[in-house]
Amino acid sequence: MESSLQLHGVALSPPLLHQTLLRLHHSSKITVALFNYAKSLPDLPLTSASYNLLIDILSKVRQFDAIWQLIVEMDQNNLHPTTTTFFILIRRLVTAGLTRQAVRAFDDIGSFVERGPGNKDYYYLLDTLCKYGYVKVAVEIFNKRKACGEFDPDAKMYTILIYGWCKIGRIDMAERFLNDMIERGVEPHLVTYNVSLNGICRRARLHPDVRFERTLRAADKVFDEMLDRGIKPDLTSYSIVLHVYSRAHKPQLLLDKMKMMKERGISLSMATCTSVVKCLCSCGKINDAEELLEDMVRIGVSPCAATYNCFFKEYRGN
């Protein structure tokens, strides 16, 4: 590659290097060879972005020792690593299951970046751990760092942890953290309740009916608490419940809930309408589904291919 560039007199500019690295992201060896060639040029085309891209490429093949050498090299070349550099490394470490190394990398941010980690940086760390199922590690960090006064816990931090517990099916722990934040004077917001509601409903078993009713009672409890705190449920809140009705094949409850949403002025989305159409069609309520399709067009919600496929499947079955 180097000889081809020299033969054709191609100058390796920063944008060209960046775009070439993007094209080579599946071949780490060629990427490293090109990067080393770029370092040998008199006019270095290297930028923080190109270093970050190489770090991401190498982290996919778990070359973490080489990545730390690159971070030190960036610092020596006055291309100072940023929090973005460390976030790339942290995410890949967590993906690889190396959570302790990810936490150590997070703690090393202060050695390379002028400002130490703040709340926004902790959001990223906790969120990444929770997304990949390491909520217990996230909670451990949260409790220890909170006790040391390294940050002031806020609603977003608690919401991230509630999401983490819901993701692994520990609704009891999610509720405990929700109660804890309220006791500490941290006010939950709409997203907090929607995350909790989603955790209760998404993975709930709905058959037999006793389980369906239990899930609805738990959801209603969340809605009641929202209203008590002056938080108005939005489309996302209601869509979660509509999805429960759909999974349980309760078309009449779906229609009743949608009527209530219209009365409260809550606009429907294409995804929500498609989910409802799917349930109505599968339950044999084609006329109601066709009426909803007409309503979608009338209120300016464009049906998608999936919406029409619900009808085609039912027509074919008949």
Q: Is residue 201 part of a domain?
A: no
**CA-based diameter of the chain, in Å?**
75
Question: What DSSP designation does 150 have?
Answer: S
Question: What DSSP designation does 80 have?
Answer: -
Give me the tens of pLDDT residue by residue for the chain, a chain 318 residues long: 555 555 445 666 788 888 888 888 788 888 888 888 888 777 777 888 998 999 999 998 999 999 999 999 998 888 889 999 999 999 999 999 999 999 999 999 988 888 778 889 999 999 999 999 999 999 999 999 998 888 889 999 999 999 999 999 999 999 999 999 999 999 999 999 999 999 999 878 878 888 889 999 999 999 999 999 999 999 999 999 999 998 888 989 988 998 898 888 888 888 888 888 988 888 888 889 989 888 888 888 888 898 888 888 766 655
Cα distance between residue 302 and residue 298, in whole Å = 9
Question: What DSSP designation does 226 have?
Answer: H
Return the pLDDT at 2.
Answer: 56
Cα distance between residue 170 and residue 162, in whole Å = 9
- Do 258 and 301 touch, CB atoms closer than 8 A? no
Q: Is residue 5 part of a domain?
A: yes
Q: CB under 8 Å to 186, separation ≥6 — which residues?
A: 153, 154, 155, 158
- Do 198 and 162 touch, CB atoms closer than 8 A? no
- Indicate which CATH number applies to the domain containing 57: 1.25.40.10
Q: CB under 8 Å to 84, separation ≥6 — which residues?
A: 52
Q: Is residue 265 part of a domain?
A: no
CA dihedral (24, 27, 30, 33) in degrees, to 10, reads 90
Q: Is residue 12 part of a domain?
A: yes
- Name the amino acid, one letter, at 26: H
Q: Is residue 96 part of a domain?
A: yes
* Distance linking the first and last C-alpha atoms of the chain: 61
Q: CB under 8 Å to 273, separation ≥6 — which residues?
A: 292, 296, 301, 303, 307
Identify the CA nearest to 135 among candidates 177, 171, 164, 111: 164
Q: CB under 8 Å to 295, separation ≥6 — which residues?
A: none
Return the pLDDT at 1.
Answer: 55
Q: Give residue 61's domain range.
A: 1-109
Give the total number of structural domains in the chain. 1
- Please state, in angstroms and as integers, the Cα–Cα distance from residue 131 to each residue in 167, 200, 232, 257, following that order: 8, 17, 27, 31
| Cis upstream peptide for 208 (omega within 30°) | yes
Q: Is residue 171 part of a domain?
A: no
Cα distance between residue 307 and residue 60, in whole Å = 38
- Name the amino acid, one letter, at 1: M
Residue 315 backbone class (left: φ over 0; alpha: ψ -120 to 50; beta: rest) = alpha
> Degrees (nearest 5) of the Cα angle 289, 291, 297?
105
- Name the amino acid, one letter, at 226: M
Return the pLDDT at 8.
Answer: 44
Q: Is residue 47 part of a domain?
A: yes
Mapping DSSP to helix (H, G, I), strand (E, B) and coil, where does residue 16 land? Answer: helix
Identify the CA nearest to 200 among candidates 156, 244, 160: 244
Q: Is residue 93 part of a domain?
A: yes
CB atoms within 10 A of CB 318: 6
